[in-house]
Structures are given as C-alpha cells and as structure tokens.
Amino acid sequence: MAFAITQTCCTDATCVSVCPVNCIHPTPDEPGFGTTDLLYIDPDTCIDCGACADACPVDAIFPAGDLTGPLRAYEEINAEYYAGRDVLADVSVAPNFHRWSPPSFGRVLPSDFAPLDVAVVGTGPAGMYAVEDLLLHTNARVTLIDRLPVAGGLIRYGVAPDHPSTKKIGETFARFHDHPRLRLRLGAPAGPGLADRHDAVIYAVGATEARRLGVPGEDLPGSLPAATVVGWYNGHPDVEPDAVDLSAERVVVVGTGNVALDIARILTAEPDALAATSIAPEALARLRSAKVREVVVLARRGPEAAAYTRPELLALAARGGLVVDAHDPRVAAAIEGDSPGGKAAWLREVPREKVDWSTPPPEGRRIVLRFHSAPVAFGGDTEVRAVVTSGPEGEVEIPAGRVVRAAGFRGVAVPGLPFDEQAGIVPNEAGRVTGRPGVYVAGWIKRGPSGGIGANKACARETVGTLLEDAVSGRLPARRKGNGARRLLGRA
Ligand code: SF4
C-alpha cells in the first residue's frame, strides 16, 4: 500500500528530502516544481516507510488505503501524475536510492568569520524560511521583526480558518522563535537605520495590495479588496470587525485564484461548521446573521485558464452547492473537450445551469462560477449595486450588494528601498536589492505574488545564498558601529 499526498500539500518539499527511494515529484530541481498544485508519490516505487508523512509540516500525507471521503480521489491523483511515464527512461522520476557523490560544501566554506548579525523583516513563510536557513546552516544571529503583534504573516492572517492543516506549518516556523540565536521583535516597525545596526537585512514583507481592475465604480463603498475580507475573517489587527457588511443576498468575487475560492467558500459556509475553526469571533457572528445566498466568482477567461488549484476546487465541489454558469457554449466545450486531468476537465462533475440574473438567488447557499465574463463597471450611486460584465451575450448586469476584488496582489514600496511600480516588487538580482549593498528581499516582494507557501522555501534559500556570497566576497558594507571584520559563517 503506497502513501499519497493530499489536498493541503504546501509544496515545500520537506518530504522529498526524507524519501529514501526518491519517489516524490516534482522535486525542487525538476521543471514544474514552482508551479505545481501539489507534489505526488509514485505508487509503484513507494516502499511504505512513512518517513514523508512524519516529516510533512501540514499533515498532508497518508497511506492511500486510509483515505476517506473526498480525500479518496488523491490516490488516483497521485498515480495519475506517473501514468504513461517510463520511469526507467526518465531519470527525473527513477528511484536513485540517493547515490553518494563527491562531498560538497556549498558556496561558502567554514572559515574564521565572526557571526553575522542579520535582520529579517516579516514573519510569514518567506521570512521564516530565510530564518530557518540562517539558523540551521550558518552561525548567524538573527533579529526577526514584524510590525504586527502576532507572528505568522500570511499563515496567520492569509490562510482561511477552515484550513487548519495548512495553518499548522506555522507551528513548524514558531519553533525557531525560541532559538538561542534569534531575537524576536513583534509589534515594532522595522524603522530606519536597520541596515546600520546589522550586517545584512532581508525584507520579506509580502505583497498586500489588491491589483486594481481599472473599471468605473471600483472605489464605490461596498467594493472591497480581497485582503480586507481575508483579514476580517482572520482577525487581522488592521481590519475593523465590521469591515464586511453581509446584508446583500448576492456577492460577486472578481478573480479565480485560491483566495477568491477561499472567500466564496467562507461566505457560503454553514456558520456552525466554522465555529470550531480559528475564525475571528466577530466574523462568525456576522456570518450567522448574513443574508448572503449566492457568491458569483467572475473569470475573464475560460475554465482551462482558471487560477485556482485542483485541491481547492475538488474540496469545494465535494462540499456541494457549486454551479457553473452555462451562459457560454465555450464553457461546456472546454469542460467536455479537455483531456483527462486538464484544468477544465476538473469541472466535469460540477452541475451546469444557465443563471437568470433578473431573479433573486435561490434559497440556500451556493457558489456560481461564471467564465468568459470580464467586469467593465461597478454600478451604483452611493454604494455598489451591480457588476456590469462583458461577454458573449454582450453587456450583462449582475445585481450584487457587495463586490470583492480578488484579481491578484501587488507589493507596496518599502521606505528607503527602490521600487518597480510596474511589477510591484523591489528590484533585485537573486534577492540582492539593486543599489543597496547589504539589503536583500525574499518572497512576494522579491518575485511578485506567485506560488504557494512552499515556493518561498527555494526563494528564501536563494536570497540567503546571495547574502552569504556577498559576505565571503567582502561585499557587505561595514556596519557603522562594530566591526567590518570577516565573519564566521560555518555554512556547510
Ligand atoms: Fe517515500 Fe516512504 Fe513516503 Fe513512500 S512512504 S513516498 S517511500 S518517504
């Protein structure tokens, strides 16, 4: 009986490094690693040792035979990844039993350098993967800073409360908060002069601003950025408990990423089902009295181009109350014509219905996926009353009392650092901030808002590697106070 990786996979590949027979793919060295929805176990090669399940930080790995309910599909999903692959011909999926190779000491050899003092700004995944790398592989002293009083960043305030397994990775990160070489400063802005007091600074502050849609009415009251809704149900200190009014029967969410599905799922959930989660109590109370019966998820493009991941869609479909609007024949054609395992084919089991927007939503609660439908304006005088969309039927007005803009995020300029307004990132080369020696970036503020939690591991590792190269080659500026002496890195 093989093991299988399931819905909550964070793709940080901790499991890959412990598998004795190299049967978990894609690995960080293989194509597709940065964009895969989840990692997959080859059932023909797995020897059932259970090492991956023990190492998984989000409890996503189980013996395939033990899977129940909607998770049963993951036995096939894991196997499907390997179907048709000739593992003997394709060395990337062949077991290698970790053959010994000549010893490697990485880019930095142990030397007589004194410990580096590194400040890391941001306690989300990118910051914590950088901290982990610095503490485990060097003798650096780390000052970890977050402007919020509670650590965790996107894990604490971004992951939906009904995804406790995903949030569990926060416990893995929190182990480092008590490390003897780490000083934790919460509830404190990074402030000026940080670079003067440290050998290097890594900013891992994420990308928190909603990407603008550029349509009339976008700033009407009742039009909310996704970050407000996500912060509201997660109790973010910057978001007022009454920030989200749920007195409308229909809410439109613009965008098809996992954040859009999270918002649609939470707004249509049975409140009792959320009571045992980490949802903010004020948000739960509002959901109990909410009038919302329908959330419309609006996509500019077809189902083959949706941004959500397969695990999120499968979970939503298994819950029920999900419908695809059959307004455009291209939608059915894409779903039926897609090859098995293709993105549009994921919707084959989801009911389709031509939605009549002139009538109120039906009783109960449901989510409508509407593809090939771009918002061209938000209607309303004093607040949002409708979303006007453009599609195959021409312009269609969808009455809606609230609109959530979930079409992506962008970074916000960091005081004192250069900023690329177009890309919404701090310009950098492998994490080294352009024109600012000793200053680095990791995560979304470095590469833009793409990839899940695990993608930040390789990203942060690259940044730390760049920092260490600079330290060894003398490119770190001497601190104003203290020494400019060579520093002991001890990285092997
Ligand atoms: Fe690899 Fe063991 Fe996990 Fe199978 S159970 S995928 S052999 S670590």
Question: How far apart are the CA of 136 and the centre of ligand 1, in A?
Answer: 24
Could you report the per-residue pLDDT of 346-388, keeping only the tens digit for each? 999 999 999 999 999 999 999 999 999 999 999 999 999 999 9
Q: Which residues, in sequence order, are CB contacts of 146 under 8 Å at separation 6+? A: 121, 122, 123, 127, 153, 185, 186, 187, 188
Which superfamily does CATH assign the domain made up of 217-408 to?
A: FAD/NAD(P)-binding domain (3.50.50.60)
**CATH code for the structural domain at 3-88:** 3.30.70.20
The residue written with tokens 């990203």 in the block is 459
**Residue of the CA atom closest to atom 8 of ligand 1:** 19
Task: Give the CA angle between residues 431, 433, 439 to the nearest 5°.
Answer: 90
Question: Position 284: which residue type?
Answer: L
Task: Give the CA angle between residues 337, 341, 343 to the nearest 5°.
Answer: 70
**Helix, strand, coil percentages for the chain (3-state, nearest 5):** 30, 20, 55
Same fold, 3-88 and 217-408: no
- Roughly how many angstroms between the first and final C-alpha of the chain, as a whole number? 37
CA distance 237 to 259: 19
Could you report the per-residue pLDDT of 200-249, keeping only the tens digit for each? 999 999 998 888 999 999 999 999 999 999 999 999 999 999 999 999 99
Q: In this structure, what is the dihedral angle of CA atoms 186, 189, 193, 198, given to the nearest 10 degrees?
A: 30
The structural domains of the chain, with segments of one domain joined by +, span 3-88, 117-208+411-489, 217-408
Measured in degrees and rounded to the nearest 5, phi and psi for residue 277 equal: -95, -175
Could you report the per-residue pLDDT of 91-148, keeping only the tens digit for each? 454 444 444 444 444 545 445 578 999 999 999 999 999 999 999 999 999 999 999 9
**Residue of the CA atom closest to atom 2 of ligand 1:** 49
Task: State which H helix or E strand residue 164 sits in.
Answer: helix 164-167
Position in ligand 1 atom list of the atom nearest CA 41: 6
CA distance 301 to 371: 6
Question: How far apart are the CA of 169 and the centre of ligand 1, in A?
Answer: 20
Model confidence, pTM: 0.86
Q: Is the peptide bond before 26 cis (omega within 30 degrees of 0)?
A: yes
Diameter of the chain by CA atoms? 75
Does domain 117-208+411-489 sit in CATH 3.90.1150.10? no
